[in-house]
Structure 1
Amino acid sequence: MMRGQVIRVNAGFYDIETEGKEYRTRGRGNLRNLGINPVVGDIVSFDPDGFLNEVHERRNSLVRPKVANVDQAIVITSMAEPKYSSLLLNKFLAIIEFNNIKPIIVFTKCDLTEETYLEEYKSQGYEVFEISNPNKDGIEKLKPIFKDKLSVFTGQTGAGKSTTINSLADLNIKTQKISKALGRGKHTTRVVEIIDWFGGKLIDTPGFSSLEFNLTKIQLAHSYADFRELSKQCKFRTCIHNKEKICAVKVAIEEGKVSKTRYNDYIKLLEEAVEWEK
């Protein structure tokens, strides 16, 4: 039996890569009986004669798109056209971090506005980049982040995900060859698959502009990276940093150590969590 990673799921077939070779397989009947559906990114055991036998434990997973074992999510965020939304960005960050995936923020269309949030998010511990779209200024700085990582792009509709991916692909000879082999002049993905990407791997996925928000109040409170350490000083372990009288997060906001805008967005997301729990 061999071990590899699912790089493509299409029409009931699971394409698996191991040691630079691809194998096309079908799932054993026992997987269906156990309710196990392999997804792109899964580490699996398989027979080279064409059967996938076992899906190994996932480090993380997303529901839409169905992917697993992602190292980092590149959150593409527009500064203009569409207008910057801190609420949407913080929603993406909360869901991604709850799923144990590292978020990397990329602000696009920075040439269309004088506003910048780079230092604000850097101060909260995030890795942040800025890109000016017409001259692709800043795109080169993204290349090193992909090495030895399995990455996925996400972000609001119209923020420039395809533009960013295509601009990077123009710098990546290997990716140009892959795109040509797939019959793509541009980034027009039809199925979810893993491709080589600047010394790492990229989950190439269509329509990844929304994430399912299905967090409870406690899960949301724990998903905010800059709240996690502070919450250890809260009076109650179940503190959701809202109406509690003794709350380290609210003290940090009053002292200017936590962004008030980010906290206000958190309260709005908390309301969504309350609705989801009903």
Structure 2
Amino acid sequence: MNGKVIKKSASFFNVICNNLNYICFSRKKVKNDASILVGDNVEFIKEDSTYIIEKILPRKNKLIRPSVANIDIIIIVISVVEPKLNTFQLNKYLAYYEYQNIDNVIIYFSKMDLLKEKDEILNKINEYKKDGYKCLFSDKTESIDTINTLFDKNNVICLAGESGVGKSTLINKLIPDSNITTNIISKSLNRGKHTTTTSNLISYKNGFIVDTPGFGSIELNIPNDEIAKSYNDFRSYGKYCKFRNCLHKNENGCKVKEMVEKNKISKERYNDYLKIINSNKYKVKY
């Protein structure tokens, strides 16, 4: 039988197959070959009264933070207050998730109703919209409607972001009877308390929504030349750079830098990009 891992514990896995939930254990050789992730499609059999995972099927993608596999759409949940909007963190997320084989990356700005001075934040958000990113807002009911339509095509949609930004609140808006626990922000640290401790797939409509533990800093582990192609607008304009392996730093004939100067690409995000590659441990591949 083939199924999808929707939850994992220390010793067993919950696998859904034909709308039935199976408690499965894993062959030692499967565990040794690769760690089984939530979202994995697996092959399993029944031995006596026990279900055993025999094989992990080929993955579409594999994420480290959060630790999940086979994601169709990522919704990056980022708060505008409590904790305040952190564009550098957001830009690192965008670079990481766009590098993965994910069909669609969406930004969901949470806690918009708590925002007192909106002009500065809206100007920042408009830069992302101008750069071609789909932006949704917690204070707009149409944003929930938009997310709901994404599940009509059997998508696996993952919510990602720091603790306390509102991922669980968003799930409760989508599925009012889900009773996902939410928690208040830590005032002293300006970050949330961990209310979700493991990644879980929640069956919803024709697809799944992935609730994941919150996390802070993310290590990209991506070569600089791949980061240079991670942002959708960098990728589009980068095709016209003079050099094929242009890092958009000091090279002559760089189309990306030209678009930054023309305000076609956000200067703030470009500066964040420079910080990211300058602190990156990987060297350029040639």
Give the TM interval when normalised to the shorter protein.
Answer: 0.7 to 0.9
> Residue 154 of structure 1 contacts residue 209 of structure 1 at CA under 8 Å; is this kept in 2?
no
Residue 148 of structure 2 aligns with which residue? 143
Residue 189 of structure 2 aligns with which residue? none
Structure 1 pair 72/56, CA: closer, same or farther in 2 (3 Å)?
A: same
TM score, norm. by length of structure 2: 0.83
TM score, norm. by length of structure 1: 0.85
Query: Aligned equivalents of 1:39 and 1:66: distance in 2?
Result: 7
Per the TM alignment, residue 207 of structure 1 is displaced from its structure 2 partner at its CA by 2.7
Given residue 161 of structure 1, which amino acid in structure 2 is its aligned partner? K
Q: Once superposed, what is the RMSD of the aligned Cα atoms?
A: 2.4
> Residue 71 of structure 2 contacts residue 158 of structure 2 at CA under 8 Å; is this kept in 1?
yes
1:153 aligns with 2:159: yes
Structure 1: gaps of 5 or more residues? 171-175
Structure 2: gaps of 5 or more residues? 183-194
Structure 1 pair 54/137, CA: closer, same or farther in 2 (3 Å)?
A: closer
Per the TM alignment, residue 220 of structure 1 is displaced from its structure 2 partner at its CA by 0.8
Residue 77 of structure 1 aligns with which residue? 78
Query: Aligned equivalents of 1:60 and 1:80: distance in 2?
Result: 32
Given residue 82 of structure 2, which amino acid in structure 1 is its aligned partner? E
1:57 aligns with 2:58: yes
Structure 1 pair 122/146, CA: closer, same or farther in 2 (3 Å)?
A: farther
Given residue 45 of structure 2, which amino acid in structure 1 is its aligned partner? D
Query: Aligned equivalents of 2:219 and 2:97: distance in 1?
Result: 10
Query: Aligned equivalents of 1:32 and 1:131: distance in 2?
Result: 40
Residue 31 of structure 1 aligns with which residue? 30
Of 151, 158, 169 in structure 1, the residue corresponding to residue 175 of structure 2 is: 169
Per the TM alignment, residue 167 of structure 1 is displaced from its structure 2 partner at its CA by 2.8
What SS class does the counterpart of residue 191 from structure 1 fall into? Answer: coil
What SS class does the counterpart of residue 175 from structure 2 fall into? Answer: helix
> Residue 6 of structure 1 contacts residue 44 of structure 1 at CA under 8 Å; is this kept in 2?
yes
> Residue 63 of structure 1 contacts residue 212 of structure 1 at CA under 8 Å; is this kept in 2?
no
Per the TM alignment, residue 7 of structure 1 is displaced from its structure 2 partner at its CA by 1.1
> Residue 40 of structure 1 contacts residue 193 of structure 1 at CA under 8 Å; is this kept in 2?
yes
> Residue 24 of structure 2 contacts residue 53 of structure 2 at CA under 8 Å; is this kept in 1?
yes
Residue 223 of structure 1 aligns with which residue? 230
Aligned residue-pair number: 262
What SS class does the counterpart of residue 206 from structure 1 fall into? Answer: coil
Given residue 253 of structure 2, which amino acid in structure 1 is its aligned partner? I
Structure 1 pair 75/259, CA: closer, same or farther in 2 (3 Å)?
A: same
Query: Aligned equivalents of 1:30 and 1:82: distance in 2?
Result: 43
> Residue 160 of structure 2 contacts residue 212 of structure 2 at CA under 8 Å; is this kept in 1?
no
What SS class does the counterpart of residue 222 from structure 1 fall into? Answer: coil
> Residue 234 of structure 1 contacts residue 249 of structure 1 at CA under 8 Å; is this kept in 2?
yes
Query: Aligned equivalents of 2:175 and 2:217: distance in 1?
Result: 23
1:46 aligns with 2:53: no
Per the TM alignment, residue 223 of structure 1 is displaced from its structure 2 partner at its CA by 0.9
Structure 1 pair 55/163, CA: closer, same or farther in 2 (3 Å)?
A: same
Q: Which moved more, 1:250-259 or 1:219-228?
A: 250-259
> Residue 144 of structure 1 contacts residue 198 of structure 1 at CA under 8 Å; is this kept in 2?
no
Q: Deviations over 1:63-116 (max 9, x none)?
A: 133210011111112222322222111111111111122211011222313131
Query: Aligned equivalents of 1:199 and 1:205: distance in 2?
Result: 20
Query: Aligned equivalents of 1:103 and 1:229: distance in 2?
Result: 16
